[in-house]
Amino acid sequence: MKEPTAKTPGKSKPVQLEMTSPWQKYANVVLIPVIIGLTVFLLVRFRMNANADAKAADSAALTDIRLQLSQIRQREMAPVTAIPAQYAEYRNATHAETEKRIDSLLDTTKDPVIRAEALVAKGDLNWIAANFPVLPGAATQPSLRSTKSPEEHLAIAEQAYNTVLKDYADQTTAAYSAQLGLGALAENRQKWDDAIAAYKTVADDKSAPAAFSSVASQRLEIIKMIREPVYLGQAATKPTTEPSTTMPVEPTTRPTTMSVAPTTMPSASH
């Protein structure tokens, strides 16, 4: 006969031992830096893509602005066939729109190449406006004039060009363009010594692209002809000691810069 077994007061629960593997033990130590690294990589990649997209958009905007400037130049060189009042309104509206686009680009872009070229464009725009041909009737009708005086436009252009040379001198294409622009401004003001100094800076620079140095050299020759009176020819038998009574031909007092834009070279590709 079997003896009765003593009952335990309660059912015992099995004890489970957690066996931690090396991977489980160090998972957090390994994964957290990896996750952080991936997050940083994706963030940098996103920003790089965003910056590339922004630069492409800024480059496209700058190209459109240059095209607009070219169209304005060509339009002003052609005979005016429209009614003066309508043409003046269109001219001022186009100038305001182009200037607004340039200022908007300068407010948004951080790329030094694009900023330098946008400043050159601002200088060119106002130089062109300062040289707008006077419309018939503008002397008595202010509505036929530009919203700013020629000197006001030149002052804005001068500030833009000088900003390029001061803050973006390492952007050589823009810097050469700005230097030529300052020369054109000096011609407008008939400050011939200043114009010569500006052009010689480019003409004497051995590293300057040929297109820039060629324009600078041409302007120097033109200024030389403007500043030196041209005397009419005299008979070969006339004594050289006798004072000449022939009147000199008056030099041109207005620089012939309208056909030569300050900017002569497109910017380097971005």
Asked if 244 and 234 count as a contact pair (C-beta separation under 8 A), the reply is yes
Phi then psi for residue 199, to 5 deg, are: -70, -35
DSSP 8-class letter at 249: B
Residue 190 and residue 174: Cα distance in Å, rounded? 24
**Helix segments in the chain, DSSP class H:** 22-25, 27-77, 84-108, 112-130, 150-167, 172-188, 192-203, 210-227
Please, what are the domains in the chain? 32-227 (1.25.40.10)
Q: What is the mean pLDDT of each run of 10 residues along the chain (270 residues)?
A: 54 53 55 61 53 82 94 87 88 94 95 96 96 88 89 97 97 96 96 96 95 96 83 50 40 40 48
Q: Which residue is it, tokens 């007061």?
A: 9
Residue 46 and residue 42: Cα distance in Å, rounded? 6
- Per-residue model confidence (pLDDT) at position 240: 45
Length of the chain in terms of residues written: 270
Q: Sign of the C-alpha dihedral, residues 85, 78, 214, 252?
A: negative
* Beta carbons within 8 Å of 227's beta carbon, 6+ residues apart: 192, 251
- Per-residue model confidence (pLDDT) at position 54: 76
Angle among Cα 265, 58, 40 to the nearest 5 degrees reads 130
Largest CA distance in the chain: 168
* Beta carbons within 8 Å of 51's beta carbon, 6+ residues apart: none
Residue 3 and residue 179: Cα distance in Å, rounded? 117
Tokens at residue 187, please?
């011609």
Asked if 123 and 178 count as a contact pair (C-beta separation under 8 A), the reply is yes
Asked if 127 and 255 count as a contact pair (C-beta separation under 8 A), the reply is no
Asked if 176 and 208 count as a contact pair (C-beta separation under 8 A), the reply is yes
Asked if 120 and 177 count as a contact pair (C-beta separation under 8 A), the reply is yes
Neighbours of 202 (CB within 10 A): 23
Tokens at residue 127, please?
């130089």
